[in-house]
Structure 1
């Protein structure tokens, strides 16, 4: 089947399918016309790859798992373990972002405090009345 047919059947855009093929995740043979020809069953693989990407798995990680998926050796327990690993990665990312947020808030407080100390130490600005030159007598 051609890429447009695979895109229609799988719900995965042709651009994503081209990227997956370029990364070696999907296999297609080239016709003399230059068109890609995907084998039947590629639809299932394309959906698996797209769903894995949507869950945040890297293409490299998907490439590691894909042979087991293709051969039917990837069990539900295996997929659950992979998703739990991904959850742990997301939790670590969240912790990192929260720590960064705390540092940003702390830095804002430090800047404000510094500015307040500077303002308190600076001489009071003169108003327009005291700044005007008095005429000499």
Structure 2
């Protein structure tokens, strides 16, 4: 199938598919005319890429982890033990970022609350 068909089947833009190829995530066959040709395996690959992107991994990280992922009917599982450690570390970084955002929200809540206690419109 050509890139337009893959885009329709996956719900991903042609631009995103070209970007995935630039990043080494997809490797379509090339016709002498230069057209990309994709197979059914590429539909599944795009699904795996989207799952990993939704999990917060960058395309560079996905390039590294994708070969070590088992796709069990849409559920991804790491095959390489060292990958689990890297994913746990990534999850911890996300947890730290969430903690920082929660602290920021709490600070903002205190500011909003102070404005309300001050009795009015501090907006000027």
- TM-score clears 0.5: yes
Q: How many residues align?
A: 113
1:20 partner SS: helix
Which has a greater percent of strand? Answer: 2
Post-superposition offset of 1:85: 4.3
Partner of 2:48 in structure 1? 48
1:7 match:
7
How does 1:1-137 map onto structure 2 within 5 Å?
Answer: 1-69=1-69, 74-75=78-79, 84-101=88-105
2:65·2:83 contact (CA, 8 Å) conserved in 1? no
Secondary structure at the aligned position of 1:41 is classed as: helix
Distance 1:19 1:96, change over 3 A: same
Q: Which runs of 5+ in 1 are unaligned?
A: 109-137
Q: Distance in 1 between the 2:103 and 2:45 partners?
A: 38
Alpha-carbon separation, structure 2, partners of 1:47 and 1:60? 17
Larger Rg: 1
Q: Which has the higher helix share?
A: 1
Stretch deviating more after TM superposition (25-34 or 82-91): 82-91
| Unmatched runs of 5 consecutive residues or more in structure 2 | 113-124
